[in-house]
Structure 1
Amino acid sequence: MKIQLNRTDIWTWLATSLLILLLNTNFKTGVIRWDWVISITLSAFVIGQAQSFLIPRLMQKATNWTVQKTIGGYVVITAIVSIITSVVVMVIMQWREEKTYGIGSYVSTSMIYMLMTFAFTSVYVIEQIINRWQTSLLKEQQLSQALLKAEYDTLKNQVNPHFLFNSLNILSALIPEDPQNAVNLVERLSKVFRYNLQNNEKVTVELSTEIKIVEAYLFIHKMRFGDNLSYELDEQAKIASRHIVTQGLLTLVENALKHNECSSEKPLHIVIKLTDAGVAVSNSFQPKNKQFLESTGLGLSNLKKRYELLTPLKLSISQNADFFEVTIPLI
């Protein structure tokens, strides 16, 4: 067995040897019981080497054990090594001194050896258990993050085809009515989808970045609906550097256009503004007739789930007879 001692080990052994020397010195007579000093020091060294050999193997074997089981294994090994060593020392000293020690002496000596062994090796064991716990916690966090990322990507990927189908419906409706504006619409759509592709891997984007795309998206619908659609964009939002969930504003604006009537009898007005709680998207509340409304409820529920995966901050929804408003937090 290869013996390796670092500076801490050397100081520990010096302190231990000094303690053993003091415990076996008669301060009245000045007599030192060298036989006991040497025996206890050697036995302590033997125990240290035995523990250095056994405990790392125990920790390696206990990789998948519970903390309680690992500590139990450590206690058993330490007790066995301490008791065997103390009994051997007592037998040797009994033979040298040609006297008989009672069972009480054996028990008390074994207890002292166990306490000393626990004192000198428990720090190492605790350190190993803490390291294992930290490694396990790190793995759990990595797994949790991977699962959240997978769930988030799934939710985000649901939005893209949903958005694409709605945009194509707008285009198909505009082509026979106004071919020239249909060309302009395609240009705006390309800008919107280029944004989606460029930011596909981003979980969040700057509010100012998405505001520009929302403005292009609203312009597309303005070409289709004319004066039946109006909108206001907060100037401060256009320069805001705080982040929101990618496509968060697009989802809310799309919902407002999809679920509400936009006609000469009932013009639709959309407002995007910064508030203390975040950025709010409000619209005049005039839902379409349910028999013409084909909605999976994907947009808003999807947005809620994505925010839940990223932050404890929650969406705020308010509604009355005149308007519907959703506020999404700034991240």
Structure 2
Amino acid sequence: MRYIKADNDLWIRLGGISLLWLLDVYSYGLFARPLNFTTLKYSAEFLVLSTATWEVIRWILLWLRRRYPHLSQTRTRILISLPLCWLTSILIDWADMKVVNSTAYHVAYPIEAFINSIPNALLFSGLIIGIQEAVYYFNRLLKSEKEAEILKKENLQTQLDSLKQQVNPHFLFNSLNTLSYLIGDDTEKAEEFLDELCKVYRYLLRSNEHELTDLSTELQFIRSYFHLLKTRYGDNIQLNLAIEPPYETYLLPSLTLQLLIENAVKHNVIDKTQPLTINVMTQSEARLIVKNNLQKKPQQLPSTQIGLRNIATKFRLLNQGDILVDETPDEFVVTIPLIAAGNPLVHS
């Protein structure tokens, strides 16, 4: 559950408390009374009462926002907050009147005042909820629009990156070299390699059409992609898949696994004495782990981690939290959240 911080609403709080105070002052007709010690006492009481009511109800609303933070949950949040805040407002009013009556702060409140506070509490709590929720909805709407714009830019960048991969001369050169060698050495393997190469490029061309893909489809692509790597590196590279069937329908951004496997191949030594092993597995709570044994290439340029940053940004904008990257002397591990199909919170 994501924690939603309170907005910087100091001016709204001051304005709202002032409004409640003015309504109390008006309802007791203090404006029509002469300014004296008694009216000042009433005014001070109403200021404390208004502040307590606003702040307690505000705290309740913040608590509900932590449990129901998204715009799609606004109706649920209001339906829960209205009776809860109404009851809270009644209790605050009654506590105030009890204190006044027990301390003889001013003329005691009659029983009718306790009864009349029930509908008045509904009015005040509804007013506070309306103001607070309107401001919260407006701020969340602005934030959602900004995130949608950022996500749109990220999608464009991902498409550009994908296009670069599609026409990557180095990748294509290596693939064609391998194919050329196989044609002269093993025609059957050459046909198999060409078939997998076509699957890889077909998936790359279609990946721009969908922001998310299910894990099962991504794994089919990875098997074809890894076949190309396996043909090139032989037994010097291994891929182990341990995917629990229930998670195959879960979603993740297209090409996520390809980027992570490509990073492992790009930054590690791969030979007979130092084979590279890549493990892809699911974990409880819908987590996907991609890890490989770490054997960094000597004298390589520092990694820019652009691929990891792009993946992390996309998951964050999809309201799925952060990916976890853990590097030890022996392993490099990336943990990403899988997204349940039909998750209504992905675009909220």
Larger radius of gyration: 1
Structure 1 residue corresponding to 2:297, chosen from 285, 288, 291: 288
Find the aligned partners of 2:200 and 2:219 in 1 and give their Cα distance. Answer: 15
Find the aligned partners of 1:134 and 1:193 in 2 and give their Cα distance. Answer: 44
Find the aligned partners of 1:163 and 1:194 in 2 and give their Cα distance. Answer: 8
Contact between 2:214 and 2:250, CA under 8 Å: does it hold in 1?
yes
Establish whether residue 131 from structure 1 lines up as the match of residue 130 from structure 2.
Answer: yes
Once the two structures are superposed, residues 229-252 of structure 1 have per-residue CA deviations (whole angstroms, 9 ceiling, x without a partner) of: 332222536972333444332221
Partner of 2:145: 146
Find the aligned partners of 2:245 and 2:155 in 1 and give their Cα distance. Answer: 23
Partner of 2:228: 220
Q: CA deviation at 1:226?
A: 3.7
Once the two structures are superposed, residues 38-90 of structure 1 have per-residue CA deviations (whole angstroms, 9 ceiling, x without a partner) of: xxxxxxxxxxxxxxxxxxxxxxxxx9983123224434544558738xxxxxx
- Aligned residues with identical type, % of pairs: 21
Find the aligned partners of 1:238 and 1:79 in 2 and give their Cα distance. Answer: 64
Residues 80, 238 of structure 1: CA spacing in aligned structure 2 closer, same or farther, 3 A cutoff? closer
Partner of 1:254: 262
Structure 2 residue corresponding to 1:68, chosen from 6, 9, 17: 17
Contact between 2:200 and 2:221, CA under 8 Å: does it hold in 1?
no
Residues 146, 250 of structure 1: CA spacing in aligned structure 2 closer, same or farther, 3 A cutoff? farther
Partner of 1:198: helix, strand, or coil?
coil
Once the two structures are superposed, residues 84-138 of structure 1 have per-residue CA deviations (whole angstroms, 9 ceiling, x without a partner) of: 8xxxxxxxxxxxxxxxxxxxxxx98xx99xx79x856564344233222222222
Structure 2 residue corresponding to 1:319, chosen from 313, 328, 331: 328
Partner of 1:175: helix, strand, or coil?
helix
Q: CA deviation at 1:171?
A: 0.6
Establish whether residue 192 from structure 1 lines up as the match of residue 200 from structure 2.
Answer: no
Alignment RMSD: 4.0
Once the two structures are superposed, residues 271-310 of structure 1 have per-residue CA deviations (whole angstroms, 9 ceiling, x without a partner) of: 212234622222232222334x474211223333433442
* Structure 1 range deviating more: 294-303 or 207-216: 294-303
Partner of 1:290: helix, strand, or coil?
coil
Once the two structures are superposed, residues 13-62 of structure 1 have per-residue CA deviations (whole angstroms, 9 ceiling, x without a partner) of: xxxxxxxxxxxxxxxxxxxxxxxxxxxxxxxxxxxxxxxxxxxxxxxxxx
Contact between 1:192 and 1:216, CA under 8 Å: does it hold in 2?
no
Find the aligned partners of 1:193 and 1:282 in 2 and give their Cα distance. Answer: 23
Find the aligned partners of 1:124 and 1:328 in 2 and give their Cα distance. Answer: 47
Contact between 2:279 and 2:291, CA under 8 Å: does it hold in 1?
yes
Residues 224, 171 of structure 1: CA spacing in aligned structure 2 closer, same or farther, 3 A cutoff? farther
Find the aligned partners of 1:237 and 1:316 in 2 and give their Cα distance. Answer: 25
Structure 2 residue corresponding to 1:206, chosen from 189, 192, 214: 214
Partner of 1:266: 274
Find the aligned partners of 1:259 and 1:184 in 2 and give their Cα distance. Answer: 27
Q: So what's the TM-score if we normalise by structure 2? A: 0.55
Find the aligned partners of 2:293 and 2:325 in 1 and give their Cα distance. Answer: 17
Partner of 2:297: helix, strand, or coil?
coil
Amino acid paired to 1:67: G
Partner of 2:175: 174
Find the aligned partners of 2:246 and 2:223 in 1 and give their Cα distance. Answer: 10
Partner of 1:241: 249
Gaps of 5+ in 2: 1-11, 34-105, 184-189, 340-348
Contact between 2:278 and 2:293, CA under 8 Å: does it hold in 1?
yes
Partner of 2:274: helix, strand, or coil?
coil
Partner of 2:249: helix, strand, or coil?
coil
Partner of 1:272: helix, strand, or coil?
strand
Amino acid paired to 1:281: V
Contact between 1:259 and 1:288, CA under 8 Å: does it hold in 2?
yes
Residues 122, 164 of structure 1: CA spacing in aligned structure 2 closer, same or farther, 3 A cutoff? same
Q: CA deviation at 1:170?
A: 0.5
Once the two structures are superposed, residues 129-169 of structure 1 have per-residue CA deviations (whole angstroms, 9 ceiling, x without a partner) of: 32222222222222233333333444454444334434523
Find the aligned partners of 2:143 and 2:247 in 1 and give their Cα distance. Answer: 34
Contact between 2:25 and 2:31, CA under 8 Å: does it hold in 1?
no
Number of equivalenced pairs: 241
